[in-house]
Structure 1
Amino acid sequence: MIDVNKVRAIDIHTHAEEPCGCHSDDGYDDLQSTMAKYFRAPWSHPPTIPETAAHFREQNIAAVIFPVDAERETGYRRYSNDEVAELVKQNDDILIPFASIDPHKGKMAVREARRIIREYGIKGFKFHPTFQGFYPNERFAYPLYEVIQEEGCVALFHTGQTGVGSGMPGGNGMRLKFSNPMYLDDVAVDFPDMKIVAAHPSFPWQEEALAVAQHKPNVYIDLSGWSPKYFPEILVRYCNSILRKKVLFGSDWPMITPERWLKDFESIAIKDELREDIIKNNAARLLGLIE
């Protein structure tokens, strides 16, 4: 179990990757190497879950970690939620388990969600509308959201532009339109008891994300995927004021390291009394680790 009092931060947004070579048949390694160039990430292949745990343990930072199930839309074989959960279980002093299920899978998605929540104590689910090819407010996703709400889990949605497919021909088939955060407004209305996180500064829809998070009590924003030194001024202003309890530190590991993000965060104009909430306490409350 995570000891909130001992860690210096909680990273709400890290990616689980398989050992090298598992995707040689479907082009996923090419996608990852292109993303690494986009983010200027310092690795030749993404770190495994045990390597991720070791890095975060060394940094004394707890981390929410998840795979992304986009095999229907992309043809890339998914990293099994069960495999991820088993490895996270072996490192539960520092890692917090999220899962990912493509909502297109319908009743299969619902059954899998109920099972893994109960077997592994999954705390939330990651959705990537652009990667998975759906609008978050499409009704076929609602049975899966019903499970997430009933079980008290978090639903974390990618929003805004993405490094996935960036620079590849046709963006590798990725359609940015699916990740406008305004679609989360419908989801927040229809599932008022489901905790929703809009991931990333939502370029080019930053103001839409801020509006939804301000208006809907169950919507939060994570700050992953960008170095804080590039945050829009309006995002910093909201972090310092009306959304101070609803913004969360996230790195987007392994594309951005948590220590790089935290170092850059020190240099932006955030009120000193709010920094610990943003890098740790807001996430701890959201995840039920503290009251």
Structure 2
Amino acid sequence: MIDVHIHAVPPYLPGTGSLSPLLRQPPAVVAAEIRREMQTSGVEMAFAMGTWNCPEDDPLGINSTLQIAEQVPGLKAIGVADPTRTDDAHFRRVEALLAAGRVVALKGYLGYLHFEPAHANYRRYYELAAKYKIPVMFHTGDTYSPAAKLRFAHPLGVDDVAVDHPDVRFVMCHVGNPWTLDAAEVIYKNMNVWADLSGLLVGTDEVFASEEGREAAVELSHAIQHAIRYSERPNRFLYGTDWPLAPMAAYRDFIFEAIPAEFHEQVFEANARLLFRL
């Protein structure tokens, strides 16, 4: 099982803070908790987001994530594509990291940062992603911050760059929730677009087990199933949790029930292996 979307460090995006008190703990503490969660839920590999707005010597915001990954077998880093950085020196440092294989993907925080996917400031990231054959992931849909602007996070924005950059593989995180059907149309239309199923239901084990949590899970399951049917592309959906916003084992069970059994192998592992060339 591959979890393509977790957090090992605070993203520190505008209005989000650290996401969880756990992420402010020392690296060894965070690493131990990730190991425990992965073992409990049967996750073999997990991909963790970096931090935004880091110093020049950390151009993708991955240094802290890599420090934790050294202590967690199977944990890999996803670098933050920061559209506020446009200088040549920055992109030379970014390319050096990509050439060294330090990240499995780049992540654009649509909505949190007020840049549409087609903004010129993202273009060089796409060119590097194509050159080094790594996906570009985007936050899409609802945000965790009142400072975010939702129009930048709508999945239809991904259609623009999917057309303009056919050599780049794009991932819509959270399958654009609540615009899951719009996201499904983008997947149906474009052969270079995927979606992850992370962060659709968040909270503690108690929240997942509550009556309200179970009702939400049923509603979300219908939306996921509709998106898969509409897109006709079960090979384009990826498993992710958004941990620590959701417990790994509880989220695994939620997605297990939400996804038709015939697609379990694809969604939980095979699709990620193909997309990330594992």
TM-score bracket, normalised by the shorter chain, equals 0.7 to 0.9
Deviating above 6 A after TM superposition, structure 1's stretches of 4 or more consecutive aligned residues are none
Q: TM-score, normalised by structure 2?
A: 0.80
Native 8 Å contact 2:7 2:49 kept in 1: yes
Residue aligning to 1:113:
94
Shift of 1:261: 0.8
Distance 1:140 1:80, change over 3 A: closer
Q: What letter matches 1:276 in structure 2?
A: E
Distance 2:184 2:62 in 1: 31
Native 8 Å contact 1:85 1:120 kept in 2: no
Native 8 Å contact 2:62 2:77 kept in 1: no
Distance 1:271 1:127, change over 3 A: same
Shift of 1:195: 1.1
Native 8 Å contact 2:53 2:61 kept in 1: no
Shift of 1:257: 1.8
Q: What letter matches 1:14 in structure 2?
A: I
Residue aligning to 2:140:
159
User: Aligned match of 1:128 in 100, 109, 132?
Assistant: 109
Distance 1:83 1:265, change over 3 A: closer
Residue aligning to 2:274:
285
Shift of 1:88: 2.1
Distance 2:170 2:257 in 1: 28
Point out the more displaced range, 252-261 or 95-104: 95-104
Partner of 1:221, secondary structure, is strand
Native 8 Å contact 2:137 2:173 kept in 1: yes
Q: Which runs of 5+ in 2 are unaligned?
A: 202-216
Shift of 1:193: 1.4
1:267 aligns with 2:257: yes
| Cα RMSD, aligned residues only | 2.8
Residue aligning to 1:40:
none
Q: TM-score, normalised by structure 1?
A: 0.77
Distance 1:138 1:177 in 2: 13
Residue aligning to 1:15:
7
Distance 1:111 1:176 in 2: 31
Q: How does 1:51-62 map to 2 (within 5 A)?
A: 51-59=32-40, 60-61=42-43, 62=45
Distance 1:152 1:161, change over 3 A: same
Distance 2:132 2:255 in 1: 33
Partner of 2:111, secondary structure, is helix
Q: What letter matches 2:168 in structure 1?
A: M
Q: Which runs of 5+ in 1 are unaligned?
A: 1-8, 37-43, 166-170
Distance 2:98 2:71 in 1: 17
Aligned residues: 252
